[in-house]
Structure 1
Amino acid sequence: MNITESTATQLTIRGLDNLDSINVFIEDIAPKVGRITIESFGDAWSHAWGGMWDGYSAAEFFARCDDGYLLGKFARASSNMECIDFEALIDKLKTAVIEQRKDGDMSSTEARETWDKVEEIERHEGMTVNEIHAMDSIDIELISDLLGEEWYHSVPEKPSREARRLKLIIQAVREAFIAKGWFKQEVAA
């Protein structure tokens, strides 16, 4: 067994609007190699980079990366970064009813009844496509009839509440790194 001791820098960011305190652990392991771990209210995200740009510390590298890139790296282990956009799904189902009516695949009565069923679909904020199958209150057969058997591939999604929170945390960490002066040039947000 080999045991290695290293030094990490810890920052605590407090006093943020709509966010709990954030603890950030920054490790510069070797040139172009670093790790950042972020913790807030019991949730933690970590990512290590083995090929950062020449001469940048982990904090500098982080500060220069855009939100989408960092969100992808820190949220990689989480399966609930996207959730169903129920309003867009309802609109998509209504469009399918209109198209099927125009194509003669539905009578006006069938179209009206189907439209009403679409309107009755419960909207479950934050639900993922995988979770929708377990819901008795959502008519999967109706969705399949309108969008096809592989409808789940085309369900409109949006960033989940967790993804929106993580993005705010990433932005706060970047602002803290910039406030500490841990960069050499202008950063891209």
Structure 2
Amino acid sequence: MKVERSTTLKLNISELERLDPITVFLEDLGPNKGRITIRCFDQTWSANWNAMGAASVAHFFVRCDENYLCNSLSSIPARITADDDLVRRAIKQEIQRQREADLLDNDTAERMCAQVDEMTMECPNEALLREVFDYDWRYQLPEKDNPEYMYLCRIINAVQYALKVSVLSEEPVKEVRYG
């Protein structure tokens, strides 16, 4: 039987503006190896690194970019397809552009616009979208920031701040104000 010992640190971060309390578990698994688990409300994110190049997972986490960390902790996309109204407008603009370039006749353009009016992104008309944008239509639609991704970035920023002032500072701080 092999038994290994690791060092685990637990942080409870509370009284955050527009965020529920956050619980963080940092585990140094060995030289340049570490794991972090972050819990906020009813969601949990976790990541492991086996080549951190840092003294501890806390040092590594603090010096990383929030986008890198967000992608390590989750598969949440940074951008998502925009609202149906904005998508419909973009599709109609492309149909109009093609009409003005004489790539479509009036009847075809009107038929396509009527189909756009009936479409939602929850149930897209893929045949129409391929006709307008070709097979890579998903990459042609307008996007917006994903609120879930932005939420996780805010949590990451709070954790980084808490680590900087409570774990990595010269003297431990018992209470930290973030914001």
What's the CA shift for 1:171? Answer: 0.8
- Structure 2 unaligned spans of 5+: 171-179
2:164 partner letter: I
How many residues align? The count is 169
Give the distance between the partners of 2:33 and 2:169, measured in 1 at CA: 16
Runs of 4+ in structure 1 over 6 Å off: none
SS at match of 1:8: strand
SS at match of 2:36: strand
What's the CA shift for 1:142? Answer: 2.0
Q: Indicate yes or no: 2:1 matched with 1:4.
A: no
Kept in 1: contact 2:58–2:167 (CA 8 A): no
Q: Indicate yes or no: 2:164 matched with 1:178.
A: yes
What corresponds to 1:90 in structure 2? 88
Q: TM-score, normalised by structure 1?
A: 0.74
Identify if the C-alpha distance between structure 1 residues 183 and 33 changes in structure 2 by more than 3 Å, giving closer, same or farther. farther
Kept in 1: contact 2:92–2:113 (CA 8 A): yes
What corresponds to 1:41 in structure 2? 41
What corresponds to 1:115 in structure 2? 113
CA RMSD of aligned residues (A): 2.6
Q: Indicate yes or no: 2:61 matched with 1:62.
A: yes
1:70 partner letter: L
2:5 partner letter: E
Q: Quick one: higher RCO (CA 8 Å, sep 6+), 1 or 2? A: 1
Q: Indicate yes or no: 2:16 matched with 1:16.
A: yes
SS at match of 1:4: coil
The answer to which of 166-175 and 101-110 deviates more is 101-110
What corresponds to 1:162 in structure 2? 148
What's the CA shift for 1:139? Answer: 2.3
Give the distance between the partners of 1:58 and 1:104, measured in 2 at CA: 59
- Of all paired residues, the percent bearing the same amino acid is 31
What corresponds to 1:105 in structure 2? 103
- Structure 1 unaligned spans of 5+: 124-131, 185-189
